[in-house]
Chains A and B, each alone.
Chain A
Amino acid sequence: MKKYILMITFIFLALNGFVMSAHAAINPTKIEERMEARTTIMAQKQSDLLTRVIQRADQLIATRLASLQRLLARLQSDKRLSDTDKTSLTNDINTTISSLNALKTKIDADTDETTARADAKSIITSYKIFVIYEPKIRLLTTIGNLQALASNMTSLSTQVQTLTNDLKAQGKDVTAAQTALNDITTQLTAINTTLATDKTLVTNVTVNTTDPHSVFVQVRKDLATVRPEFAKIRSDFATLRQFFKINLPKGTVSLKPSPASESAK
């Protein structure tokens, strides 16, 4: 019985093989057509993949350009930054925008998926807009604002010192005012040191920095310490205002502020 079954199976397989080879011999074009169709499908898949990589890259660039435009708008609206800082930061952002646009043009023209994929990765690795660039520019803007403020307060305190010296020469008791002025000088020295250090720290952060986050955290902590120092200066200003009110000659009224303080706004 087993022999019959084996024989029938063998005959069936042999017939099957014969029929298939005969079919191939009769219709050779069908196999070629299939091969061609398979190649076309593969090419189409590659093309679709390339399109998807390009679309994703364009999306990544658009998000980054939008972020850079917001940064530019923040800088344009700033009235405290020095012209040097403003120009330097604005130029930096514009250069980054141009580079990203150039990269977009290159990616859009890429013809193979490997190159497009590598270019798309460079949108992240070469710019690190969100990990480094945006925090860096925002922190530099903040530091610049505080440095400008400290500079204005320094020049104002110099004027206050001159006025206090005049009153002292007139025989007025300037002890309280002098104490306040000395404290202002101390606070401004500390503030300027912190800001200068932080500015260097932030400026030195590049796309190659291993741990930019720790630098940014440190700088944010430092800037938090600057706040109470300015608060002390404000308290000293209150003391000085009181001092000047007391020593205001009788029959006179307070005048409008000097242009120095107006321009400091």
Chain B
Amino acid sequence: MDQTPQPLMQKYKFTIISLVIILIAAIPLLLLSKKNPTKMTQTTPTPTVAPLTIQNADTTLENADTQMQQTLNQTDVDLQVVSQVDSSQDTTSGL
């Protein structure tokens, strides 16, 4: 049998077609990635504390005083509750 050599295009036909398909498939991906670039790292702003000034000192101290009063009142309530805990419930008698 006489075998004639195949042309290069004919020999790698399937490989070339596969590469073309891959390239076509990659186009939308490239376009989308351009439209949605990688999100930039978001940094949460560090809360800044305004310095105490002579103008806000009075109100600041008044608020701190109120805070102290409220906490001490809550402390009184909590200590009252502690003193009222019925420890006799922790008896094993009758078991």
Interface residues of A (CB under 8 A from B): 53, 56, 63, 80, 117, 120-121, 124-125, 128-131, 134-135, 138-139, 141-142, 145-146, 149, 152-153, 156, 159-160, 162-163, 167, 213, 216, 220, 223-224, 227, 230, 233-234, 237-238, 240-241, 244-245, 247-249, 252-265
Cα-based distance from A153 to B68 in the complex (angstroms)? 9
How far, in angstroms, from A245 to B54 measured CA to CA in the complex?
8
Which stretch in B15-23, B38-46, B72-80 binds the other chain? B72-80
Contact A125 B92 (CB under 8 A): yes
Whether A258 touches B52, Cβ cut-off 8 Å, given contacts A80-B71, A145-B74, is: yes
Q: Which A residues are in CB contact (< 8 Å) with B55? A: 248, 252-255
How many residues of chain B are within 8 Å of chain A by beta carbon?
A: 41
CB distance from A215 to the nearest CB of B (A): 12
Within 8 A of A (CB), among B46-95: 47-65, 67-69, 71-72, 74-75, 78-79, 81-83, 85-92, 94-95
**Contact between B53 and A237, CB atoms less than 8 A apart:** no
Task: Please state if A124 and B91 are interface contacts (CB–CB under 8 Å).
Answer: yes
Q: Are B68 and A234 in contact (CB under 8 A)?
A: yes
Instruction: Closest B residue to A231 by CB, please name it.
Output: B72
The one of A80, A240, A255, A265 that contacts B61, using a Cβ cutoff of 8 Å = A240
Q: A131-B90, A163-B52 are in contact. Are A233 and B68 (CB under 8 A)?
A: yes
Q: Closest approach, in angstroms, between the C-beta of A197 and any C-beta of chain B?
A: 17
Question: Bound complex: CA of A260 vs CA of B50, how far in Å?
Answer: 7
Q: Which residues of A contact B85 (CB under 8 A)?
A: 130, 134-135, 138
Instruction: State whether A142 touches B58 (Cβ < 8 A).
Output: no
Contact of A260 among B49, B62, B89 (CB under 8 A): B49
A152 touches B75 (CB 8 A): no
Known: A138-B78, A234-B68. A259 touches B92 (CB 8 A): no
CB-CB under 8 A from B59, the residues of chain A are 254-257
Q: Which residues of B contact A244 (CB under 8 A)?
A: 54, 57-58, 61
Chain B, Cβ-Cβ closest to A158: B52
The answer on a CB contact under 8 Å between B90 and A128 is yes
A230 pairs with B90, CB closer than 8 A: no
CB distance from A243 to the nearest CB of B (A): 9
Given contacts A145-B78, A261-B64, 15 further A-B contacts (CB under 8 A): A56-B94, A80-B71, A130-B87, A130-B88, A138-B85, A142-B82, A152-B67, A156-B64, A163-B54, A248-B58, A255-B55, A257-B62, A258-B52, A261-B63, A261-B67
Q: Is the CB of A227 within 8 A of B72?
A: yes
CA distance A145 to B67 in the complex (A): 11
Q: Check if B54 sits within 8 Å of A145, measured CB to CB.
A: no
Are B63 and A56 in contact (CB-based, < 8 A)? no
List A contacts of B54 (CB < 8 A).
163, 167, 244, 247-249, 252
In the assembled complex, 30 residue pairs joining A and B whose CB atoms fall closer than 8 Å, in A order, are: A56-B95, A63-B89, A117-B95, A121-B95, A129-B90, A130-B86, A130-B87, A130-B89, A134-B85, A149-B68, A153-B64, A156-B61, A159-B52, A163-B52, A163-B54, A223-B79, A224-B79, A227-B72, A233-B68, A234-B65, A234-B68, A238-B65, A241-B61, A244-B58, A254-B56, A258-B50, A258-B52, A260-B52, A260-B60, A264-B63
